[in-house]
Amino acid sequence: MQRSTVSVVLAGLLLWRAASLAAESTNRLPGAEAFPAALQQRLAQALKAKGAHYKPRTRHLRPDGSPQYANRLILESSPYLLQHAHNPVNWYPWGDEAFARAKKDNKPVLLSVGYSTCHWCHVMEEESFEDEAIAEYLNRHYIAIKVDREQRPDIDGIYMAAVQMLSGGGGWPMTVWLTPERKPFFGGTYFPPRDGVRGARVGFLTLLKRLQETYHQKPEQVATTAMETSRRIQAALTPDPGEGGPGAAALTAAAESLKKTFDAQDGGFGEAPKFPHSVQLEFLLRYSRRTGDLQARALVVKTLEAMAAGGIHDHLGGGFHRYATDRQWLVPHFEKMLYDNALLTVAYLEAYQITGREDFAQVARDILRYIEREMTAPEGAFYSATDADSEGEEGKFFVWTLAEIEKVLGSQRAKLFHAYYGVTEQGNFQSKNILHVARPLAEIAKEFGLGPEQAEAQLQAARTALYQARQQRVPPHKDTKILVSWNGLMISAFARAAQVFNAPEYARHAQRAAEFLLTKLKKGERLQRSYLDGTASGDAYLDDYAFLAAGLLDLYEASFEPRWLREAIGLHQVPETHFWDRQGGGFFLSADDSEALLAREKPNYDGAEPSGNSVAMLNLLRLAEFTTDDHYRQLAEKGLRAFSTQLAQAPTSMPRMLAAVDFSLDKPKEIVIVKPTVDATAEPLLAKLRAAFVPNRVLSVVTQGSDLERQRQIIPLLQFKIAIDGKVTAYVCEQQACALPTADPAVFAQQIAKVEPLVR
């Protein structure tokens, strides 16, 4: 072999060895064995694929900016898991590999569950999972697993139930100690890293040591706790059905319970922290409509006023933050979630219909504008959330000093703004200002010698200028994954706004999102859970099917395109086949062919999001009205019976389910409007419906002729409906018995205003 050839070979070997050493040093985590060569290569390739502009989320960096560590999470697609890909912790994703290793090595499992925009998840990561000493102990003595709750709500639901049983509370980050058989024996939420930090008597590292010792020294105690907790989880997540269906008593009990916890001074329910709880507000509006209970309605109005004025509302960018940390709704947790804003849009729309208050309508429009410009993907679907933190500080993006505002507006122009939004030199949040409505507009306008309209115009100009200035700041992290369930909620919000405001542009937003989901996230008859960077992944859950079907029903009533109704019917066939509990009624969260877990949850709580069962029951009742197929009603009645015991014992736990109960106890209106020609307008009639709060109804607008015949195949209600005397004609029916058809908007308004009283 020639010397030059030898030199080339040696040089190649040296480069290969250097690359191997670099890969090994990158992946040699403290306290952990070196990764096998094949895994090292996969991790190195995944890191390289991130590209030159990739910024690892870790403080453990080499001088060239590359990460010192990489673990298996760099192979995952979840934004949350990828945030932890460079921790010194030897993280595994959920799966058989991790539990098999735990069993082989006889180690307990540390399960950590969170999501990418979770503030306290970030805090625990920085304090504990980035700490090399804690990571070393964790890697030596545990198998550590990370789960994204937004992609795996089934895992989250099971172990959240465990944490609530074991600790009396719950939340994220969720931290659970498991046996290799996946059974929990201890759990909590956020833990400070060490004893004494944040006033904690026992820190995370001490807990790791104590529980590891307990696992090995008292195995019988661990096994007994794990077995008993698992048994209780299975009982809690699949409640026994009641003897009969829930009745009006459940509605009354829920309303009275909410009245008792209402904060008469600041609105909302209970003490701080305060969450929007939109589904509770929706229920109270329905209860007030059926009973004439004006107090129930007043609770909603007060709460919506307080939230709109408070710091939980982003007065510059639109939309609402996750929750308020105080009673007054002033200081928010600055995270923004798609589902909160979808549900709040609907709450403000319904309050606008009831009260006619333009300020409520404006809040709904502001939320949707925020979604349009900041949370909509180029293809039309909606992103999931934005973080509370930017540049390492919670809320930094959203708060202002007085000087910062005056620099943008000028000192003279800023005076009106300061007075209205309570801006001071001292601030109200860490020496800065969270904008909130400090005084009524009329009072401020009078003080500055302006009419209310002039004052509002000046404030709007100031808001626009400050929003543009804010856009130059470093923004919070945005979770750009697209979840079917949350998109379904936002499709409903846009579709409902299109109906209420007669705004076709909102319907187009809903249509684009629906088209994307049905094209990109549907394979055959089944949906997938999420979409990110061009790839759909994960099996869909009950809430994906139920929320999207509800959105499509709302979209049909906004556009009257039968495709959306057909798609909704098709979507509900999948849960009936794969999720339905044939013994007890109701739907399971996961399909019958999904991964078998410790328990198969039957969702039975309306929290920040309504449960899949609550939405599904209302869908079934709506489909029964549209199709006249009593099979849907029978399913709904059996499903409601499945939760009747819970509704009797804890009626406020499922307010969206109570909306379905209200629908089932009502005589829902079957509204059909027939146009004689395509060019004829139904607007004089629809304007009356837009201005009325008629939640328990179905609506179809058709054109006489081929359109009517085509839709009649899906909606038998359309049979024998015609445009009388060539006029746009409305038919208002209840249980297929119709009032006299009318072309007179005033008569139509009287017909839809008729309310079936709730017999209490």
pLDDT at position 2, please? 44
Whether residue 513 contacts residue 525, with contact meaning beta carbons closer than 8 Å, is answered with no
Average pLDDT over residues 341-360: 98
Q: Is it the case that residue 149 has pLDDT exceeding 80?
A: yes
pLDDT tens for each residue of 603-651: 999 989 999 999 999 999 999 999 999 999 999 999 999 999 999 999 9
Whether residue 67 contacts residue 27, with contact meaning beta carbons closer than 8 Å, is answered with no
- Is the pLDDT higher at 101 or at 20? 101
pLDDT at position 27, please? 59
pLDDT at position 137, please? 98
pLDDT tens for each residue of 430-485: 999 999 999 999 999 999 999 999 999 999 999 999 999 999 999 999 999 999 99
Share of the chain above pLDDT 90, in %: 91
Q: Given the DSSP bridges, would you call strands 389-390 and 385-386 parallel, antiparallel or unpaired?
A: unpaired
pLDDT at position 242, please? 77
pLDDT at position 433, please? 97
DSSP 95: S
Average pLDDT over residues 400-414: 95
Angle value at C-alpha 407, between 406 and 408, nearest 5 degrees: 90
Q: Is it the case that residue 12 has pLDDT exceeding 50?
A: no
Whether residue 349 contacts residue 506, with contact meaning beta carbons closer than 8 Å, is answered with no
Q: Which residues pair with 523 in a beta bridge?
A: 526
- The tokens for 250 are 């459940």
pLDDT tens for each residue of 272-283: 999 999 999 999
DSSP 307: H
Whether residue 133 contacts residue 201, with contact meaning beta carbons closer than 8 Å, is answered with no
30 by DSSP, 3-state: which? coil
Read off the pLDDT band of 588 (50, 70, 90).
very high
- Rounded to the nearest angstrom, the gap between the alpha carbon of residue 68 and the centroid of all alpha carbons in its chain is 35
Q: Is it the case that residue 9 has pLDDT exceeding 90?
A: no
pLDDT at position 245, please? 85
pLDDT tens for each residue of 681-709: 999 999 999 999 999 999 999 999 999 99
pLDDT at position 26, please? 52
- The tokens for 162 are 């465990």
Average pLDDT over residues 29-57: 93
Read off the pLDDT band of 236 (50, 70, 90).
confident
Nearest to 202, CA basis, from 233, 239, 175: 175
Nearest to 36, CA basis, from 84, 77, 72: 72
Average pLDDT over residues 583-596: 95
Whether residue 90 contacts residue 107, with contact meaning beta carbons closer than 8 Å, is answered with no
The whole-chain average pLDDT of the chain stands at 94
User: What is the phi/psi pair of residue 523, to 5°?
Assistant: -120, 110
| Strand ranges in 69-218 using DSSP code E only, listed in sequence order | 91-93, 109-114, 143-148, 174-178, 184-188
Read off the pLDDT band of 599 (50, 70, 90).
very high
Nearest to 669, CA basis, from 747, 735, 716, 743: 735
pLDDT tens for each residue of 56-110: 999 999 998 999 999 999 999 999 999 999 999 999 999 999 999 999 999 999 9
CA distance 682 to 748: 12
Q: Is it the case that residue 11 has pLDDT exceeding 50?
A: no
pLDDT tens for each residue of 502-527: 999 999 999 999 999 999 999 999 99
Whether residue 354 contacts residue 294, with contact meaning beta carbons closer than 8 Å, is answered with no
- The tokens for 599 are 């328990």
- Say how many C-beta atoms besides its own lie within 10 A of residue 456's C-beta: 16
pLDDT tens for each residue of 200-213: 899 999 999 999 99
CATH of 3-237, one of 3.40.30.10, 3.40.1710.10, 3.40.50.1970, 2.40.30.30: 3.40.30.10
Question: Which CATH class for the 251-374 domain?
Answer: mainly alpha
| Residues sharing a CB contact under 8 Å with residue 569, sequence separation 6 or more, in sequence order | 623, 627, 714
Q: Residue-wise over 202-230: b if at least 16 C-beta within 10 A, else e?
A: ebbbebbeebbebbeeeeeebeebbeebb
pLDDT at position 7, please? 47
pLDDT at position 5, please? 44
| Residues sharing a CB contact under 8 Å with residue 211, sequence separation 6 or more, in sequence order | 108, 177, 185, 186
